[in-house]
Amino acid sequence: MSLTPGLHHFLVVSALLFSLGLLGVLARRNLLVIYMGLELMLNAANLALVAFSRFNANLNGQVMVFFIITVAAAEVAVGLALIVALYRKRQSAHVEDLTSLKL
Amino acid sequence: MPALTDLLFYGFAGLALLFGFLCVANPLSRNPVTSAMFLVLTICSLAGLFVLLNAFFLAAVQVLVYAGAVMVLFLFVIMLLDLKEEERRKLNKVALGAGTVAVAVIAGILIRAVTSAKPAADKLVEGTTKPLGRILFTEYLLPFEILSLLLLVAMVGVILLSKKELK
């Protein structure tokens, strides 16, 4: 591996960022921070797509990232509305308090 | 002597990973507002990486939509919920340990797979507004229109969910 950043380097950064987002989803117990971990994972996938697009001289990857950003914005709006509705009903945004489906 | 763009890559990549770590597992503060602020910084560093990849339009969209609109929404909800008492809860040690091990293994596998791959041919493509807009409004016109419908559906859904009583 050379030191000049190529596709490899960007993919390593993307993989590490994805792992960090996964760690946030697994370890944190606050619904909002779990959502931020999800956003981090989406951003890592975006970085990988842009890197592939750049090193294959193909713009389709960047159009895909554009679509992902839009869908993520819609997803965040709906998800946060759900969290607010949940908080109104249960007075908590903590996953350990939401156990009514547990056996 | 490394070129300036190489140094910029390592700078932005290091900052993105550092801020990403501080966003999900900040050892000093478990306040959601701190996490949100570090997520903004991570997204801005990623926009820098997009510029280094010649994706200028996406870098602008990243800052405008993610660091602007989405994170304002996050902060708005955090302030609406008033999560002060959440900070006092202690961390689940077993979940944190298992999560760290799983993530380390996944990261190791990914890095190994990526570093053993063959290098890609270095061709140049510029993601400026003009070529991206052309491909978006010719080849991807139908998905683009469907996307506007998706945003409308999300908007209606959010308004319905935020009403005081669901009928």
ipTM for the predicted complex comes to 0.90
Which phi-psi region, left, alpha or beta, contains residue B93 (left: φ > 0; alpha: ψ -120 to 50)? Answer: alpha
Query: Domain ends where: B88, B118, B148?
Result: B88
pLDDT at B1 over 60: no
Would you say B20 and B60 are in contact if contact means Cβ atoms under 8 Å apart?
no
Nearest Cα of chain B lies from the Cα of A38 at a distance, in angstroms, of 10
How is residue A3 annotated by DSSP? S
Are residues B132 and B155 located together in one domain of the fold? yes
User: Using the beta-carbon criterion (under 8 Å), do A73 and B70 form an inter-chain contact?
Assistant: yes
How is residue A26 annotated by DSSP? H
pLDDT at A48 over 90: yes
For CA atoms B50, B55, B56, B58, the dihedral sign is negative
Are residues B95 and B82 located together in one domain of the fold? no
For A93, the 3-state DSSP assignment is: coil
Would you say A60 and B61 are in contact if contact means Cβ atoms under 8 Å apart?
no
Q: Does the domain at residues A7-101 carry the CATH identifier 3.40.50.2300? A: no
Are residues B97 and B147 located together in one domain of the fold? yes
State the Cα–Cα distance between residues B40 and B9, nearest whole angstrom.
19
Segment B23-43 mean pLDDT: 88
Strand partners, A94: A30
- pLDDT value for B91: 64
- pLDDT value for B86: 55
Segment B114-140 mean pLDDT: 79
Segment A45-73 mean pLDDT: 91
What count of CB pairs under 8 Å joins A to B?
244
Q: Which of residues 17-36 of A touch B (CB under 8 A)?
A: 17-24, 26-30, 32-33, 35-36
pLDDT at A1 over 60: no
Q: What is the dihedral of CA B32, B36, B39, B44, to 10 degrees?
A: -160
Are residues B167 and B96 located together in one domain of the fold? yes
Q: Which of B57, B44, B73, B51 shows the shortest CA–CA distance to B4? A: B51
Give chain B positions within 8 Å (CB) of A7: 117, 119-120
The number of C-alpha atoms within 13 Å of B65 and in the hemisphere containing its C-beta is 20
Q: Which of residues 51-90 of A touch B (CB under 8 A)?
A: 51, 53-60, 62-63, 65-67, 69-78, 80-85, 87
Query: Domain ends where: B88, B119, B141?
Result: B88
Mutate to test the interface with B, among A9, A10, A17 (most CBs of B within 10 A): A17
User: Using the beta-carbon criterion (under 8 Å), do A8 and B115 form an inter-chain contact?
Assistant: yes
pLDDT tens sequence across B60-113: 999 999 888 999 999 998 888 876 655 556 666 777 788 788 888 888 888 887
Phi/psi at A57 (5° precision): 50, 50
- pLDDT value for A49: 94
Query: Domain ends where: B88, B115, B132?
Result: B88
Q: Which of B103, B49, B65 shows the shortest CA–CA distance to A41? A: B103
For chain A, what are the domain ranges? 7-101
User: Using the beta-carbon criterion (under 8 Å), do A26 and B98 form an inter-chain contact?
Assistant: yes
Would you say A5 and A67 are in contact if contact means Cβ atoms under 8 Å apart?
no
Phi/psi at B130 (5° precision): -65, -55
How is residue B62 annotated by DSSP? I
pTM of the model: 0.88
Mean of all residue pLDDT scores within chain B? 85
Tokens read off for B151: 């945003």
Q: Residue B27 is which amino acid? A: P
CATH number of the domain residue B84 falls in: 1.20.120.1200
The domain containing residue B61 runs over which residues?
Answer: 1-88
Mean of all residue pLDDT scores within chain A? 87
Distances, alpha carbon B15 to alpha carbons A12, B132, B144, in Å: 14, 28, 33
pLDDT > 90 in chain B, percent: 40
